Amino acid sequence: MSTSDISRSGKPAVVAHRGASGELAEHTAAAYDLALSQGADGLECDVRLTADEELVCIHDRTIERVSDGTGVVSEMTLAQLREHDFGSWHASGESASVLTLRELLTMTLDWHRPVRLFIETKHPVRFGSLVETKLLDMLHEFGVASPPSADHSRAVVISFSAAGVWRVRRTAPMLPTILLGDTARIIGGTAATAVGATGVGPSIETLRMHPELVDRAAAAGRVTYAWTCDAQPDVQLCADLGVRWVATNYPARVRDWLVTVD
């Protein structure tokens, strides 16, 4: 199976948002493993740099919401983060260690079928552009920073930061990038063109109000990545509009819904 087969023809491909995070604690190995076993076409993660410049999969700048500890991610070393439980806060009750991007990349690339990893860089952060530099270094190390084409890439860099997207496009021009945004002004404007993004990522709320964004993106040669689609009417809307990727906390449920889409 080639990476071009990742998406089922004519229907959106399913991206597990922080793993199967509706069922297990977000950004944990268990959540991603469950998403893979449920048939997710892609995985999404947020990355931040620790004080010792390790890339870890954490959404917030602090760890209070997703662990039993406190502190700012960028002020803690990986070893310090390893001291805390990042899973037992969730209703599932499963304990978990902080997940590094290296571990998630290994899991994704070792899976028995091709899966695409969508990596979101967070901004503003104290390390600035270093997050993209470290990310690209790691993608080069894993051999996925220079795909033959965007369609055959195993990694996609996504960000709300136009500058972050531009840094990736300038350094790794063949690597697909998605400019995220929660307003039509950002997604439908000139920002994606200016930074050379290969896709746009509106929130599902923005897409409901501005469905024309998908056609506008397609006319400019860009794919659309919609987030976060957990309700069946939203999944149907994305399918009707021709959205390429739908990010969801419930990949199994969304895949089942898409089976019924004509």
Query: Among all residues, which ones are annotated catalytic?
Result: 17, 59
How far apart CA 188 and CA 71 sit, in angstroms, is: 37
How far apart CA 221 and CA 70 sit, in angstroms, is: 44
How far apart CA 101 and CA 163 sit, in angstroms, is: 21
How far apart CA 118 and CA 104 sit, in angstroms, is: 11
CA nearest to 254, candidates 37, 13, 52, 73: 13
* Beta partners for residue 247, in sequence order: 15
Compute the C-alpha angle 73/251/38, nearest 5°.
105
